[in-house]
Amino acid sequence: MKVSEIHARQFAKDEYGGFEHTNVAGEDLLVYGGNRTGKTLTFNAILYNLLGPRHTIDLSTGRQNDVRLKFDDDVEFQRAQTGAKFRKNGTEETGDTAQKSFEEWFGDKIHGTINRSDIIKAHFLHSHIDKMPLSRLSKQDRLAIIRSVADIESQETIEELEGQLEDLEDSINEDKEDRRRLIEDRQQLQREQSSAQNQLEKYEQLQELHESGELAEIVDLLLSDEEIQEQLADLSREEEFLRQKRRSKQKQKSQWERYRQAERHSLIAEAVNDFVCPACGDRVDTELAESRLSRHRCPFCAVDDRADSLETDLDDKISRSEEELEEIESELEEIAEDLEEIDERMAELRERQPELNDIDGPIETVIRENKYEIDQIVAETADELERYESTITQAEAALEETNSLIEDLETQIEDKEGQYQSLAEELQEQRQASIEAEIDEFAEAWLDSFQSVAGDLGLEIRITEEGEVEIPGNESLRSYDEAGDLSDAEITFLNITFAVTLNDFARQSGLTDWKTIVLDEPFSNLDSEGEENLLEFIRENEQQFICTSSDDSFIDEFDKHGELTRHTIQSSLARFT
């Protein structure tokens, strides 16, 4: 499948007058013209016709587009603002039907990491090196696209394993989040149980004092001596106030310790994960929340730029955490000293009144709040004993259930992590087998093509398990991805021969019958020897090459050519052959 006619009447920019050539006839074509005549626009117009506006390179197409291509089997496809048109065997379809028919005719669909659009787009080499196929593709996508054209079943197997691993990882993370919440629930239950136990012991002590008759003696003493009564009340009030203050400061300490110990994204992500959406009842996974935050999006709803103020506020708290913790520690020390002083004053009071040895602040509070009425104190004691015994029993049952759930989750996590490890090993084996089979096979074919165009530059090509493209240097391997390792000519030749090799494999695999490589200013990075090598490579290859150039000296090297002029930014039909 090659291009036989190009009709780019309107495309992307108002000043682009278009490019038309009605006699390409599947042969190599040079589109030439000076600076700002629309060469790269013409390059993108062809890409736009094949794949649509989302796939143009470094260009926003706008709405005023009308591009029609005719192919060497007389099929035509027009993509325009007014809609699509597809003509085949004398029949014409329009709109969505035309779009669907064109896609079906163009080649088999591929689902997964790499699709047909990625493969076709790799046939288009932009003039900027960082926009060329090998630069645009991530390292893993390089491997994926090679496997897709060399052995689609191998790629599908790898993607299936990757999908299973991703699902398993999500499931493990969900289990870990559930475990984290359960552990927090357990800590809360333990606090409630401890508090209930303390209260129970207080009322048990009151009950013992009543049964021994000491409670009545204590009440009589307090009622008979208002000074002692007031001193004891003041001490117990002050003690309770300090204990509440200490609890509050300890909570603050825990919060500031989190700021000191955790990253801001994990703090926000955990908070978001704890929030249940009132509409759908779902939680946002911590990992997803952190991913959104890393892209400056709201961790919950993913709206852009909503996380910045939250992050700024957390950054401030994190930076203040050490100072705040020092201040809280100092305040806790002061509270401890004040409580110690109260204990000493309480001891002095007991020394003067031995009858008060068995009374402390909490018991004094119960006696005072019941107005020193024995019957009321006894009634409250009975009620509270029953209540706190029930609370402790319930807490124990809840703790037992929570511990059981945590144990089940830990077993489940351990099992899933074992499955994950096995799957990861299977995936690694599959990837390694792929490197030794499809990737190496592709690399050998790519090397043959590279050496035929690069001359002395074409030493060797190596594709690593990580997707690195390397060629040997005088002292060590040189990497495509390391700035300065390769010359512009090497990068250009690597990308052109990659596209050609990819096309050979894609056609052999039956993924597409497309046989055209489109190059934007391919000679600009080459010396005279490199230009000659590339021209010879183009002539000898079975693929059709459509090239743009600012240098009209290449006209005689191409069977077909068309000129773009700066004033009208269009080619005249009289000026192509």
Give me the torsion for CA of 58, 60, 66, 68, rounded to 10°. 30
pLDDT, residue 525, reads 84
Q: 493: domain CATH number?
A: 3.40.50.300
pLDDT, residue 570, reads 45
Please report whether residue 204 resides in a domain.
Answer: yes
**What's 435's DSSP letter?**
I
Residue 71: strand pairing partners: 3
pLDDT by 10s per residue, the chain, length 577:
899 999 988 888 877 878 889 999 999 999 988 888 889 999 999 999 999 888 999 888 877 899 999 998 889 999 998 889 999 988 989 999 998 988 888 866 666 677 888 889 999 999 999 999 999 999 989 998 998 888 888 888 888 998 899 999 989 988 998 998 899 899 999 999 999 999 999 999 999 999 999 999 999 988 998 888 899 899 999 999 998 999 899 888 888 877 766 655 555 555 555 555 544 455 666 666 666 656 556 655 555 555 556 666 667 777 888 888 899 999 999 999 999 999 999 888 888 888 888 888 889 899 999 999 999 999 999 999 999 999 999 999 999 999 999 999 999 999 999 999 999 999 988 888 888 888 888 999 999 899 888 876 556 788 888 889 988 766 778 888 887 888 898 899 999 999 999 999 988 888 888 999 999 999 988 889 989 999 999 999 999 999 999 988 889 899 899 988 765 444 444 345 5
* Of residues 137, 162, 114, the one with CA closest to residue 511: 114
Please report whether residue 277 resides in a domain.
Answer: yes
Domain end call among 426, 442, 466 = 426
Task: Please tell me whether residues 165 and 312 are part of one structural domain.
Answer: yes
Q: Could you write out the DSSP letters of every residue in 86-139?
A: EEETTEEEEHHHHHHHHHHHHB----SSS-HHHHHHTTEE-SSGGGSHHHHS-H
Q: Could you write out the DSSP letters of every residue in 1-58?
A: --EEEEEEEEBSBTT--BEEES--TTS-EEEEESTTSSHHHHHHHHHHHHH-GGG-SS
pLDDT, residue 552, reads 85
pLDDT, residue 455, reads 72
Whole-model pTM: value is 0.67
Task: Please tell me whether residues 192 and 118 are part of one structural domain.
Answer: no
Please report whether residue 558 resides in a domain.
Answer: yes
pLDDT, residue 407, reads 96
Task: Please tell me whether residues 111 and 198 are part of one structural domain.
Answer: no
**What's 447's DSSP letter?**
H
Task: Please tell me whether residues 203 and 103 are part of one structural domain.
Answer: no
Task: Please tell me whether residues 406 and 524 are part of one structural domain.
Answer: no
Please report whether residue 445 resides in a domain.
Answer: no
pLDDT, residue 290, reads 62
* Of residues 347, 337, 384, the one with CA closest to residue 365: 384
Task: Please tell me whether residues 357 and 261 are part of one structural domain.
Answer: yes
Environment class of residue 503 by beta-carbon count within 10 Å: exposed (0-12), middle (13-18) or buried (19+)?
buried
Task: Please tell me whether residues 491 and 419 are part of one structural domain.
Answer: no
Q: How far apart are CA 226 and CA 270, in angstroms?
A: 54
Domain end call among 400, 426, 452 = 426
pLDDT, residue 572, reads 41
Q: How far apart are CA 125 and CA 518, in angstroms?
A: 6
Q: How far apart are CA 335 and CA 238, in angstroms?
A: 11
pLDDT, residue 435, reads 83
Please report whether residue 564 resides in a domain.
Answer: yes
Domain end call among 426, 443, 470 = 426
Task: Please tell me whether residues 63 and 189 are part of one structural domain.
Answer: no
pLDDT, residue 28, reads 92
Please report whether residue 313 resides in a domain.
Answer: yes
Task: Please tell me whether residues 119 and 167 are part of one structural domain.
Answer: no
Domain region containing 525: 3-124+486-575
Task: Please tell me whether residues 276 and 377 are part of one structural domain.
Answer: yes
Beta-carbon-side half-sphere exposure of residue 454 (alpha carbons within 13 Å): 26
**How many independent structural domains does the chain possess?**
2
pLDDT, residue 574, reads 36
Task: Please tell me whether residues 324 and 230 are part of one structural domain.
Answer: yes
Decide: helix, strand or coil at residue 185: helix
Please report whether residue 450 resides in a domain.
Answer: no
Please report whether residue 443 resides in a domain.
Answer: no
Task: Please tell me whether residues 347 and 201 are part of one structural domain.
Answer: yes
